[in-house]
């Protein structure tokens, strides 16, 4: 059996960040669960049960246009990422471990393209039961693009780790390949990767009250050494943070959902 390396992550500090900008979001996207930047727009989407649409936002969070994705259903959209030509939308939420239809939608960035939406279907080969399990380890909310691969970051509520599964970017039906286990000491809710900076950024929570940003420098698929991380608290109170976009090593955009503890969903710029 192939050995899966466990990367022990060292927490350097837990400090509050500075909120540089804070914009309210429309009720249309009150369950914002992913964030990308395409051209002059932020792009986001709703969580489970929403329209199968991407929402293009101004730099102040106003909806400029709505793009409905053909042949798609929003069963539990959790994150999105992109490369030079495509947007990848992850329908990978699996709160109770019962789903047999996990998938990623591959959508051309060019809205004038004649290409149809492609579907990358997958399963976790280690999963041998689909009975309801509220402590499932086969739920996930993070997705990034690294070269010609997609990486999924799972949630593990009990052990506070994340397991990384790799998929190709081609349409098809696959067994996702487990490649790493990261001891993040929290539950991962979103992910982004910047190839030029070799920087991985994750959002996470420990108790679903406070949320954090985790950053990992020099992240790559070949690294067999321990990673050193920085973990900082997001100072916005009790609300769900499930999306992040890297600006540079110290600045990030995030979105938070609209909950009873907040007046509206928010787009925020933070400095570590």
The residue-averaged pLDDT of 158-187 equals 96
DSSP per residue, 99-157: -S--EEEEEES-TT--PPPEEEEEE-TT----S--TT-S-EEEEEEEETTEEEEEEE-T
pLDDT at res. 56: 98
- Domains belonging to the chain, first-starting first, are 6-271 (2.120.10)
- Per-residue model confidence as pLDDT tens digits over 131-141: 999 899 999 99
pLDDT at res. 138: 97
51/174 Cα distance (integer angstroms) = 26
pLDDT at res. 14: 47
Q: Contact, 235 vs 224, CB < 8 A?
A: no
pLDDT at res. 226: 76
pLDDT at res. 220: 87
pLDDT at res. 261: 67
Q: What are the tokens at 81? A: 């990422």
Q: Which residues of 91-110 are buried (b: 16+ CB within 10 A; e: fewer)?
A: bbbbeebebeebbbbbbeee
Q: What percent of the chain has pLDDT over 90?
A: 82
- Per-residue model confidence as pLDDT tens digits over 205-258: 999 999 999 999 999 888 767 788 889 999 888 889 999 999 999 999 999 998
Q: What is the pTM of this model?
A: 0.93
């Amino acid at each position: 059996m192939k050995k899966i390396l466990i990367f022990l992550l060292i927490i350097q500090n837990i400090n509050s960040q500075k909120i540089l900008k804070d914009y309210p979001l429309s009720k249309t996207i009150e369950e914002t669960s992913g964030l990308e930047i395409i051209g002059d727009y932020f792009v986001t989407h709703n969580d489970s049960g929403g329209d199968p649409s991407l929402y293009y936002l101004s730099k102040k969070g106003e909806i400029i246009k709505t793009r409905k994705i053909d042949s798609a259903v929003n069963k539990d959209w959790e994150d999105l990422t992109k490369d030079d030509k495509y947007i990848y939308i992850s329908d990978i939420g699996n709160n109770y471990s019962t789903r047999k239809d996990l998938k990623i939608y591959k959508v051309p960035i060019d809205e004038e393209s004649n290409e149809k939406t492609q579907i990358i279907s997958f399963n976790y080969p280690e999963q041998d039961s689909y009975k309801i399990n509220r402590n499932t380890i086969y739920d996930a909310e993070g997705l990034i693009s690294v070269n010609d691969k997609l990486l999924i970051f799972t949630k593990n509520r009990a052990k506070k780790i994340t397991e990384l599964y790799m998929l190709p970017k081609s349409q098809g039906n696959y067994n996702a390949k487990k490649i790493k286990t990261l001891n993040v000491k929290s539950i991962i809710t979103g992910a982004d990767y910047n190839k030029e900076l070799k920087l991985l950024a994750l959002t996470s929570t420990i108790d679903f009250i406070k949320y954090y940003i985790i950053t990992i420098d020099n992240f790559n698929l070949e690294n067999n050494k321990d990673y050193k991380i920085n973990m900082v608290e997001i100072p916005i109170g009790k609300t769900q943070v499930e999306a992040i976009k890297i600006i540079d090593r110290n600045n990030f955009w995030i979105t938070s959902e609209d909950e009873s503890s907040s007046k509206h969903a928010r787009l925020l710029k933070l400095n570590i």
